[in-house]
Amino acid sequence: MSLSSCQMEQERLMELERDNRLLVSRIARTMGTKGGLDNWNEYQAKPSVNADLRNRELVKISLENQAILKKINMTKSVYDHRTWLDDFKVTRGYMNRLLKYPEQPILPKQHKILNLV
């Protein structure tokens, strides 16, 4: 190795040592303090002027909704799907009588079993 290459290598190592010392001192300083960033939100929300009024209105609406739900659950249904089905069958019978070619019920296809033996 030549003298200049040894000198350049020593300068490079000295620069690395200096950078390492700077980094260690920065880390030590940061670890010793609380840190530079304070992310605590110490804001206290002030109570709203209308908060009490809004709460009373909310309770009133909730009671009204419960009363409406109770009425809905107590009411007997007006619609009956069984009578609708019976009416549909009667109407279909009328339609079949009026058609030139009455509707044929669709039967499932019979599958043949193949003997591959």
Summarised one tens digit per residue, pLDDT across range 40-76 is 777 788 878 899 999 999 999 999 999 999 999 999 8
Q: Considering its fold, how many domains does the chain have in total?
A: 1
For tokens 């840190």, what's the residue?
A: 35
Q: What is the mean pLDDT of the chain?
A: 85
- Cβ atoms of residues 54 and 48 within 8 Å: yes
Tokens representing 87 are: 């009416």
CA distance 62 to 46: 26
Confirm whether 67 is domain-assigned: no
Nearest to 81 by CA among 70, 89, 72, 71: 89
| Domain region containing 13 | 1-32
Amino acid at 84: W
The whole model's pTM is what? 0.35
Confirm whether 22 is domain-assigned: yes
